[in-house]
Amino acid sequence: AQSVTQPDIHITVSEGASLELRCNYSYGATPYLFWYVQSPGQGLQLLLKYFSGDTLVQGIKGFEAEFKRSQSSFNLRKPSVHWSDAAEYFCAVALTPSGNTGKLIFGQGTTLQVKP
Amino acid sequence: SAVISQKPSRDICQRGTSLTIQCQVDSQVTMMFWYRQQPGQSLTLIATANQGSEATYESGFVIDKFPISRPNLTFSTLTVSNMSPEDSSIYLCSVASRGREQYFGPGTRLTVT
């Protein structure tokens, strides 16, 4: 069955430090991949997406992610974390990329805490 | 990206009652979805709202419990019927246009007592 795994439930980093959030997926074909962020009491905001082409994708708020087919991974990175980045981060996979995204499978989420 | 609103933003309901959640988009979209996020959990797709026809439900979700309407390309409703405390969750609608990525509404936080 298709699945998305975010191995780190909770991560704490110091402000200004670099960040990497891990995401692995299990899917027969190359999926459409996404990272979303959810601040407390808020809905989900799309950070970035990968459909095809360049495996390093840039997103909003200074985030980037790299698709590695051999590792079935789509890790999210940011070179310098700001206190406002503290939130819940979700990796997601779209299973039916037929012109429009179909069902999204979400990972369990990673809670990011930023220390001053 | 589309601007998505949901009503109500939160509600506290009694066991056995029903609540209808509205999702409004500021532009026509091809697809609309409803997700549930239980406390401390990730998101699970409830159903795809189909314009002018019955919604497509995921395994574990049934129409009698979660009836959905989508009368046009900008509006959908989700009803949570005969509620129990286990229905306490955040309910989110999402939309997808030609660009293929999904955008989410702010969510409706439901507490059932």
pLDDT over 50 at B82, yes or no = yes
Q: Which of B1, B45, B103 sits opposite A103 (nearest CB)?
A: B45
Q: How far is B96 from chain A (nearest CA, A)?
A: 7
Q: What pLDDT was estimated at residue B96?
A: 87
Kindly write down the DSSP assignment for every residue of chain A, as one continuous string. --EEE---SEEEEETTS-EEE--EEE-SSPPEEEEEEE-TT--EEEEEEE-SS-SEEE-GGG-EEEEEGGGTEEEEEESS--GGG-EEEEEEEES--SSS--PEEE---EEEEEE-
- pLDDT: is A43 or B11 the higher one? B11
Q: Mean pLDDT lowest for which of B8-22, B45-59, B67-81? A: B45-59
* pLDDT tens string A79-110: 999 999 999 999 999 876 544 456 789 999 99
Flag if A104 and B97 touch (Cβ within 8 Å).
no
